[in-house]
């Protein structure tokens, strides 16, 4: 289990997170939503070790991880993707998958190749295995980035806006992939503005507004919560 207690993150005078307490159980598929600037990316960055919380604690299975660097946290089984995907443009799609696997070397060469091929197939990128990543569309790059994280079979997958700018066909494909990962027992925290996707695939929603947790519950309850409607969804989704 991943547990955050009173996590505060200050950037100079700005408080991006003002005491967030939330728990994520193993195997859960949680949507993290909220308006722009509400602290979603900052929360993922605190969990993944990119930022050190100013206050509070983050525990994975009872072990404090909030003072560990990103590499250590990655090795604990927490993988993340970024709002702007980070792939190696000049390398092929397949080579991109090898890079993260080489940094955590428990796989031999054959094992690495097998896993890469499986992941590309699941993401329907296998036809592009030998293409340089710079030839991929924005959406395909997002898929590749998720594939790169999956090479190390993280227990927790933190995804920052994976649907942003993704073509509808790829978006459906990505939704299916995430649903399959969830069914296979993966824990997922999904940050997304795509309300229809989030409501469709997540089993629980956590809503942030101005650095604070507004509500936390099953999608149908969150959708009806007046504080969420006011803070975020507005009239369009309220119905």
Ligand X SMILES: Nc1ncnc2c1ncn2[C@@H]1O[C@H](COP(=O)(O)OP(=O)(O)O)[C@@H](O)[C@H]1O
List residues binding Mg ion (CB under 5 A).
Answer: 41
Tell me whether residue 11 is exposed, middle or buried, using C-beta atoms within 10 angstroms of its C-beta: 0 to 12, 13 to 18, 19 or more: exposed
Per CB under 6 A, does 38 bind ligand X?
A: yes
| Shortest distance, position 47 Cβ to Mg ion, whole Å | 14
Per CB under 6 A, does 189 bind ligand X?
A: no
Among residues 36, 110, 184, 226, the one that binds ligand X under rule CB under 6 A: 36
* Residue 64 half-sphere exposure toward CB, CA atoms < 13 A: 9
Cβ–Cβ < 8 Å for 21, 6: yes
Among residues 39, 49, 53, 154, the one that binds ligand X under rule CB under 6 A: 39
The rounded distance, in Å, linking the Cα atoms of 60 and 76 is 8
Residues forming beta bridges with residue 219, ordered by sequence position? none
- Closer CB to ligand X, 16 or 158, in the complex: 16
Contact of residue 38 among ligand X, Mg ion, none (CB under 5-8 Å per partner type): ligand X
Per CB under 6 A, does 80 bind ligand X?
A: no
| Shortest distance, position 234 Cβ to ligand X, whole Å | 16
Q: 93-103 and 138-150 helices cross at what angle (nearest 10)?
A: 30
| Shortest distance, position 157 Cβ to ligand X, whole Å | 17
The rounded distance, in Å, linking the Cα atoms of 80 and 14 is 24
Contact of residue 42 among Mg ion, ligand X, none (CB under 5-8 Å per partner type): ligand X
- Quote the strand ranges of 97-202, DSSP E: 156-160, 187-191
Task: Summarize as ranges the residues that interact with ligand X (CB under 6 A).
Answer: 11, 14, 16, 34, 36-42
């Amino acid at each position: 289990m991943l547990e955050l207690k009173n996590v505060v993150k200050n950037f100079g005078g700005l408080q991006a997170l003002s005491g967030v307490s939330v728990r994520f159980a193993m195997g859960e598929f949680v949507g993290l939503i909220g308006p722009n600037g509400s602290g979603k990316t900052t929360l993922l960055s605190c969990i993944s070790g990119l930022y050190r919380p100013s206050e509070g604690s983050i525990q994975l299975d009872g072990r404090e991880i909030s003072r560990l660097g990103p590499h250590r946290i990655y090795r604990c089984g927490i993988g993340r993707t970024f709002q702007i995907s980070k792939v190696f443009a000049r390398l092929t799609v397949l080579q991109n998958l090898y890079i993260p696997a080489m940094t955590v070397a428990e796989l031999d060469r054959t094992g690495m190749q097998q896993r890469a091929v499986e992941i590309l197939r699941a993401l329907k990128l296998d036809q592009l295995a030998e293409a340089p990543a710079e030839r991929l569309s924005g959406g395909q790059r997002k898929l590749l980035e998720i594939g790169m994280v999956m090479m190390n079979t993280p227990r927790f997958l933190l995804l920052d806006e994976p649907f942003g700018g993704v073509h509808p066909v790829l978006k459906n494909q990505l939704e299916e992939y995430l649903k399959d990962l969830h069914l296979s027992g993966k824990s997922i925290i999904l940050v997304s503005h795509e309300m229809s996707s989030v409501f469709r695939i997540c089993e629980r929603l956590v809503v942030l507004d101005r650095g604070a947790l507004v509500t936390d519950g099953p999608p149908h309850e969150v959708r009806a919560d007046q504080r969420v409607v006011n803070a975020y969804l507005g009239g369009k989704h309220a119905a």
